[in-house]
Structure 1
Amino acid sequence: MKFFRKYRIPQTPEQRKERNKQLLLASLGGVLLGLSFPPIPLPFLAFFAFIPFFSVIEQRNSLVSINRISYVFLFFFCLITLYWVGSWTKEADPFLMISGGLLLFANPGFYLIATSLYFLSTKIFSKKISLLFFPLYWVFFEYIYSLTDLKFPWLTLGNSQAYFNQFIQVADVVGVYGLTLLILYINIFLYFSLQELKNTKKINQRYLFAALLLFFLPMIYGGYKTAAYDIPQKQIKVGLVQPNINPWEKWSGGSINDQLNNLFELSNKAVQKGARVIIWPETALPCYLLGGNYTYELERIHQFVNEKKISLITGMPDINFFFDIKNAPKGAKLLRSGEAAYTSYNSILTFLPNSQTVQKYQKNQLVPFGEKVPFVEDLPFLGDFIKWGVGISSWNVGTAQNVSDLNYTKVGAVVCIESIYPEYITKLVNNGSDFLAVVTNDSWYGYSSGPFQHKEISVLRAVENRKAVVRAANGGISCIIDPIGRTLAETQFFTRDVLVGYVPVYAEKTFYSKFPLVIPLIAVAVSLFTILFLLLKPIFKLIKKKS
C-alpha cells in the first residue's frame, strides 16, 4: 500500500468532496438503471438513469478518468441485474459460482467500449455533439458483444422495457436496439434540458420537447397497434410440460424410464385438454436418445405420439459419431478409446405421428463457459481445463436455423439463451415459423431474477416479429405470449405442472423481421467513422497546413 501511496496525487478537501460526489452520482445512476430491469416493475427508471452518469463524464477529460467512473456506474448496474448468474444455491457447482462472480466484475469492462468511443469522439467534436453520438456507440457495443465468443447480451438496454407493453410496440419496426436508442436519447435531451435550467435558470423547451416527442411517439404507435390487434382465426392448442426436476440431480444418474413416465403423465393431461402439440423442456431426458443405446425409450416416444396423434417438440442432447476420424467435422472430439470422433449438441427433436423420421435442430447460440468454452477451437486445452460438474460445457455449435415442420404449421423452436438474440430469432421467422417456442431449464439459478428476466425477454421477441412465443421450462416459467407481448397464461416457478392454451398464429411479417440489422449497422458505421476520422485527423491537418 505504501508503494501506491507514494505515487498518489494529493487532493484538496474540495477535490475529495467533488470526487465523492461523482462516485455517488455514478453509483446512483447504476442502481437506477439496474432497478429498471425485470423482475422489478419500474421500467420508467431507465428514462433518466443515465442523467447522473452524463453529468459526471462530461466533467472528465482523460480516457482513464472517464472509464474509471463509468466502471462504477456499470458495476452497480450489473450487480443488481446479474447477481444470480453464479447460482448461489447449495447444489451449485463451484465452477459456476466462480464464473458468476467473475462475470460481475468482467461484464462492466466490456461496456467501456462505448465510453471509450465517446472519449475518442471528444477529440473530434465538442462534448455535446459527442454525447449525441453516445447512443450509437452504445448500440455498437451491444451488437458486437452479441457476435463474439464471450457474448452475453443479456442486458441489452431495450430489455428493460419488457413490462412497458405500450412503449415496446414500436419494436416491430426498430427492434430492441431501437428501444435502446430511444431510451438513451430521452436521457440525453432531459439531461441537456436540466443543464440549461441549472446554468440559465430557464428550461430549454427544444430539448424538453425532443425528449417528450421520443417518448410519446412510440406510445401513440403502441396504442394504435394494440387497439388494432385482432385475435387471428388460426390458433393451435399447445401443451407445455413443466416436470420440475432438480437439474443438479437429473444428470447424476437415475432411471431414464422413470423420467420418461413423468413426462408422459403430464403430457397425457395436456392431450386430455385437447393439445395438438406437446412441448417438453430443454434436455428433457439426460441421455443421447438417438445415440443407439436408448432404442426402447425412443420406441416408447414414437408409440406415444402415434397413439395420441400429437406432435412432440422436445429439448434433448444429441450425438453423432464419425468412424472416419480424418473426415470428421471441425470441433469433433475423440472418444477415449480413440476409435471414433463425435459431435454433441444441445438439440431439439421433433416427433410426428405415423413417422419414424425425427427432425433435428442443433443449438446455434451457446452459453459461454456454461455450454462452450470460448476460443476452444483454437485453444483445445481450455476444454479440459474449464469444465463444470454436470459435464455440459463442451457442446458443439449448430449451424442451421431449421424450423419444426408439423405439416399443418411450422414452429421456430430455440433452446434457452438463444431467445435473447433478436436478429437470430428473425432467421427462424424468415424460415417460415408460424410461432416461436423456447425450451429452457432456468432452475439452475433458483428463485432469483434470472428466470424472470429470461421470460420477459421473450416478450420483446414476440413484439419484434408479431409471432406468439411459448416457453416450456423445466421448473418454470412456462407461458404463452401473444404477438403483442401479452402473457396469456403462465405457470408458477418450481411447480410440477402442465399448461394448455391456444397459440395465435399471426401471418404478418414485420419490418424488423425483414430488416433486423438496420440500426446496428448504422451504429457500426458511425463508430467506425469516428475511429477512422480520428486516425486520419493528423493527415488532414498536415494537408491543410501545406495548402
Structure 2
Amino acid sequence: MLKVFQRNKLSAEEKSFLRKDRLLLILSGILTGISFTPFPFPFTLFLFIAFIPYFLVLEKRKSLLEINRASYLMFFTLSLITIYWVGSWQSKADPFLMIGGGVLIFFYPVVLLINSTLFYLSQKIFSKEKSFWLFPIIWVTGEYLLTLTDLKFPWLILGHGLAKFTAFIQIADVVGAFGLSLIVLYINVLLFKAIKYYSSDRKLFFRYVTISLLVFMFFFIYGIIKLNRKDEKNEKYLKVGVVQPNLDPWDKWELGGLDDILKNYIELSEECTKLNAKIIIWPETALPVYLLSGTYSDIVDSIYSFLRKNNVYLLTGMPDYIVHYNNPPTDAKLSKSGNFYYSTYNSILLLNPNSYEIQRYGKMQLVPLGEKVPFVDALPFLANWFKWGVGLSGWNVGKDTTVFKLKIDNDSVRVAGLVCYESVFPDFVTHFVKKGAQFITVVTNDSWYGNSSGPYQHKEFAALRAVENRRAVVRSANGGISCLINKFGITEFETKMFTRTSFVVDVPLSDELTFYTKYPFIIPILSSAFSIWIIGINFLLWLKRKFKFDK
C-alpha cells in the first residue's frame, strides 16, 4: 500500500516527460469538463477530441498503478469543473451538504477508476493496441454502474455533454445517452489512432480521419433528417400552466408563514387559469409540510376550492406521509409512541377538481446522502450519523412508477411525473413512457445550489430524455429553470433563474414508442457483459498462476 505514495528519484528528462503528461491529463479533463453546460454549444464539440490527450498518456503507462494515477488526475480535473457545485457553497448551506460536496469532488474520480482498471485488465487478454478499441465499451460499463446501488450518480454520462448539440443527439431515440457516449469515444479513438500514424503512415492517418468524419456525419445527417421530418398525424395539445414561486429553499423549511406560501402559489396559478390552463404544475416540495397527514385540512380545503372554482388539475411536488396500521413494509418507520408504522416520501400528488381521490408517486431515485443515507437498510445506525439541517436525509424509496391519469374534455391524458434527480437516469424514464405517459413533467428545486452550473446542467440533461422517448418535457423548478422542451430536445420556452413567475404552454401529447424506449438496456448490458467477461478471464488467468495449473 505504501508503494502508492512512494516517490522514486527521477532524472531531469523523466521529470520533463512527467510534467508534459500531467499537462496532457489536465488538458483532457478541461476539454471534457467544458463540453458540459453551462459552457455554450461550440464548446460541446471539444468532447469529440477531449480524450485524445488522455489516450496519449495511457499508451505510455504499463502498470495498473501508473494507469490509475494518470487517470485520477484527468478525472479529478473533470470532476472539479463539472460538479464543484454539489456542496452549494452558500452562506445558508448546511455544513453537511458542503462536506458531502467536497468529498464528492475527490471521490467521484475514484469511482471512475473502475474504467481505467478494466482497461488495464483488457490488456492482459488483448494487446494494448486492441484495448483502445475496447475502451468505449469499458467506459459505458462504468457509466451504467453509476446508475446502480445506493451510491448511484450518473450525472456525467458523456452523452449528457452533447445535450446542446441538437442535431447530433437525435440518434438518442435509438441508442440513448449511453450510446452517445459510445459514439463520442469511438470518434476519439479513431482520431487518436490517426495522430499516432501521422508521421509514420500517412495512408493510415487519412483512413482513420476519414472514418471518424464519416461516423460523425452519419449521425449528424440522421439528426438533420429527424429535425426536418414532418409528422403525418396531427398532434393533440394540452394547455399546461407552470408555477415558479422562487422561494428560498432554506427558509421555507423553517415552517413559518405557510398561508403566505400558499397565497404565492395561488396568485401565480390564477394567472395560468386566465390563459385556460387545464393542469397546473407546482415544483418539488411545493409546501414544506406533510399536506395530507390530517394536520393541514384548512390548507387542503383552500387548494381544492381553487381547483373547483377554475376546473383545473394540480400536479405538485409535495412531502407525503403514509401510515401503516397493518402489514407495514420492511422500510417503514416506527412512530415515537410505538402505535403505528409510517413512511415518508418526496412525492408528486395529482389533485382532481372533481374528486378527492388523490394519485400519488413517491420518488424512487433518491440522491445519495442528500435524501437517503446509502446502505441504511443494511446498516440502520448510519441514519443517525448523516442528517441535513433541513431534515431531508430520511425519505423512503418509492415503490413503483406512476403514470398520472387526467380526464380533460372527455379525453384521457397520461402524464409522467419525475422528481428532480430522477430525470438524470436515462433508462428509468422509459418505464413511465412504456406505461403510456404522453408527456413528461419534472418537478425540482435546484435553488439549493444557487446560480451555479448545477441547475443549468440539470435542465439540459432533460433534453436527452425528451429525444430518447420523443416526449415533450415540462419542468417546474422552484427558482428556475422552468421550461418546455419539445421531443427534439429544443427548448421552446424557459424562465430565468431566481424569478417569480408563471406561464402557460401548449404541450404536445404523443403515444410514439421509440426503439430506445422499448430497448433501453441493449448497449449498457452488452457492454457490461463484455466487461464481466474480461474480469472473468483475468480471474481464470490469476487462478492459473496462483495454483500453477498445467496446460
Q: TM-score, normalised by structure 2?
A: 0.96
Q: CA separation in 1, counterparts of 2:545 and 2:498?
A: 65
What is the correspondence of 1:212-361 to structure 2 with a 5 Å cutoff? Answer: 212-230=213-231, 232-323=234-325, 327-361=327-361
Partner of 2:47: 46
Identity %: 49
Q: CA deviation at 1:322?
A: 2.7
Q: CA deviation at 1:229?
A: 4.0
Partner of 2:372: 372
Deviation larger for 252-261 or 74-83: 252-261
Partner of 2:205: 204
Q: List, as ranges, runs of 4+ consecutive aligned residues in structure 1 with deviation greater than 4 Å.
A: 3-7, 538-547
Structure 1 vs Structure 2 CA RMSD = 1.9
Classify the secondary structure of the residue corresponding to 2:167.
helix
Residues 1:4 and 1:468: Cα distance change in structure 2 (over 3 Å): closer
State how many pairs are aligned: 543
Residues 1:401 and 1:104: Cα distance change in structure 2 (over 3 Å): same
Q: CA deviation at 1:199?
A: 3.5
Residues 1:210 and 1:302: Cα distance change in structure 2 (over 3 Å): same
Q: CA deviation at 1:447?
A: 0.4
Tell me if structure 2 keeps the 8 A contact 1:349–1:360: yes
Classify the secondary structure of the residue corresponding to 2:116.
helix
Partner of 2:404: 404
Classify the secondary structure of the residue corresponding to 2:433.
helix
**In the TM superposition, what whole-angstrom CA distance separates every residue of 1:129-186 from its partner, at most 9, and x where no partner exists?**
1111111111101111111111111111100000100000000000000000001000
Q: CA deviation at 1:314?
A: 0.2
Partner of 1:468: 472
Q: CA separation in 2, counterparts of 1:422 and 1:24?
A: 33
Q: CA separation in 2, counterparts of 1:279 and 1:197?
A: 56
Tell me if structure 1 keeps the 8 A contact 2:414–2:438: yes
Residues 1:62 and 1:303: Cα distance change in structure 2 (over 3 Å): same
Classify the secondary structure of the residue corresponding to 1:343.
strand
Residues 1:542 and 1:8: Cα distance change in structure 2 (over 3 Å): closer
Deviation larger for 296-305 or 472-481: 296-305
Q: CA deviation at 1:197?
A: 0.3
Deviation larger for 188-197 or 206-215: 206-215
Q: CA deviation at 1:328?
A: 2.2
Residues 1:538 and 1:503: Cα distance change in structure 2 (over 3 Å): same
What is the correspondence of 1:110-189 to structure 2 with a 5 Å cutoff? Answer: 110-189=111-190
Q: CA deviation at 1:540?
A: 8.1
Q: CA separation in 2, counterparts of 1:383 and 1:5?
A: 34
Q: CA deviation at 1:545?
A: 9.4
Residues 1:109 and 1:273: Cα distance change in structure 2 (over 3 Å): same
Q: CA separation in 2, counterparts of 1:235 and 1:314?
A: 20
Tell me if structure 1 keeps the 8 A contact 2:4–2:65: no
Q: CA deviation at 1:510?
A: 0.3
Q: Does 1:26 align with 2:25?
A: yes
Residues 1:47 and 1:310: Cα distance change in structure 2 (over 3 Å): same
Deviation larger for 453-462 or 205-214: 205-214
Tell me if structure 2 keeps the 8 A contact 1:490–1:499: no
Name structure 2 gaps, 5 residues minimum. Answer: none
Partner of 1:514: 518
Tell me if structure 2 keeps the 8 A contact 1:232–1:504: no
Classify the secondary structure of the residue corresponding to 1:252.
coil
Residues 1:332 and 1:52: Cα distance change in structure 2 (over 3 Å): same
Tell me if structure 1 keeps the 8 A contact 2:255–2:289: no
Q: Which amino acid aligns with 1:97?
A: M
What is the correspondence of 1:521-532 to structure 2 with a 5 Å cutoff? Answer: 521-532=525-536
Partner of 1:64: 65
Q: Which amino acid aligns with 1:19?
A: L
Tell me if structure 2 keeps the 8 A contact 1:278–1:313: yes
**In the TM superposition, what whole-angstrom CA distance separates every residue of 1:8-37 from its partner, at most 9, and x where no partner exists?**
321111111111111110011001100000
Classify the secondary structure of the residue corresponding to 2:113.
helix
Q: CA deviation at 1:342?
A: 1.4
Q: Which amino acid aligns with 1:506?
A: S
Residues 1:542 and 1:321: Cα distance change in structure 2 (over 3 Å): closer
Residues 1:541 and 1:344: Cα distance change in structure 2 (over 3 Å): closer
Q: CA deviation at 1:399?
A: 1.5
Q: CA separation in 1, counterparts of 2:287 and 2:443?
A: 13
Partner of 1:17: 16
Q: CA separation in 1, counterparts of 2:6 and 2:414?
A: 65
Q: Which amino acid aligns with 2:279?
A: V
